[in-house]
Structure 1
Amino acid sequence: MPRIDSGAATHIGRRPNNEDSYCQRPELGLFAVADGLGGHEGGEVASQLVLSTMVDFLAAQESQPQPAPPGGGAESLIVRAVRLAHHEVLVRQSGRLSMMASTITALLLRDAEAVVCNLGDSRTFLVRGGELRRLTRDHTVLAEMEEAGLDTSNPFAMMHRNSLTGAVGMEASVDPECCRVEVQPGDVLVLASDGLYEPVPPALMVSVLEQGGSAQEMAERLVAKAYERGGTDNITGVVVRVLENG
């Protein structure tokens, strides 16, 4: 795995409670942000459950001395982790937790490659050479309308702009989307809940990151900027810097 520096920050925003959770486990190569939904208690439980399940699964895989089975590469591992988390959320859906679910955007680093996996509208970005590239696709009504070439300026689209079409615990089965990206020294990867990236557009995100400092300082600045710009939702970001070898 490349040498990295990571940091994370979260803020309740202007909400009564924080339903976002984050994970940074450099020893597993795992970094993730989850944004829970399903009411005050349900959202918090769902996002934490998703991340703890993924961490436990990947840690168990790391501890196994035998070679990984065929198809046991990084992409297979992270998809299996998300599917297991999905199952755990479904099992716990009852009573006050009956509507709980969570987005997930996760990064699994292996050698010089990152596998990015997501379900919902939390996003992962790659900043390289001053340019920002979004690595994930939203699973929302608005995103699906845009992809279908439909008019998104009408009242229906505006009303449902944040309505999810996929989330962990939302459907009978789960198929997270994955992509692979080669990483190189100087790259900065940002995992963000919608409470972070909506108030902080791409150009501003790049500008904040270019102020330098540690990954922790970058994450804290991004979250503070989102709040400063009036962010009402929970605000969470994880920053992963790829360092020079040596």
Structure 2
Amino acid sequence: MQNRTFLKSIVFLIVSGICTSAFAQTVDEIIAKHVTAMGGADKLSKLKSVKITGEMNVMNMEIPVITTIVQDRGFRSETTVQGQTIVQVIDKDKGWSINPMAGQTKPTPLPEEVVKSLSAETDLTGLYNYKEKGQTLTLDGEDDLAGAKVFKVTANLKNGGKRTNYISKDTYYILKVVAFMNVNGQDVQSTNNQSDFRQVDGVTYPFTSEVETSAMPGTSMAMKIKSLQVNPKIDEAIFVMPKE
């Protein structure tokens, strides 16, 4: 996973305030239609957990990935590379990882800054109820995305992260997300193009994602979901760091 923390400038804060004031109603109308497209408030409000099994293609390698999330509780990803499994977990306000590819064979606590930046990964409902989540949104105009007309809506997250969402004017799905983060003291931008939207138990998900990041110039990562379970029963013990 990627670190999503960054420093905001005073100028950005001022511009954000102006834009929020000017376009608040328009933003809310866009988000209301987006929420409907994603399954509606009734479905999203009842979304408590998901388990996703997928396959990521990186540099012609097919890498299995299993992601388990419990809303506002925990996030766990297991990625198998060359027979070795990399585990990364967020457990409320803590986090830990195992990375045998880097010689880290025992559970190791994640730095506080990393945990803070990854805290948004435990949110399954995106822009739904954004105000209650402590987020602010700004409408940054409209754009053309490979022939699709989109709204550009930037979300400033409670943890300090920022994401610009390209929302289709036709379907109100998020077709692209540009995230800004700080990784090991370096500013990093990642772009996630989303497609193949399908409904599972009434909730809409993109089953294909293509990710590029400035941390790995020229490298594209394609993720395809093989199976997705909505509200499965999860043993939350999987988020607790083992003692050994």
TM-score range, shorter chain: 0.3 to 0.5
- Larger relative contact order (Cα-Cα within 8 Å, sequence gap ≥ 6): 1
Q: Give 1 or 2: higher helix fraction.
A: 1
Q: TM-score, normalised by structure 1?
A: 0.32
Q: Give 1 or 2: higher strand fraction.
A: 2
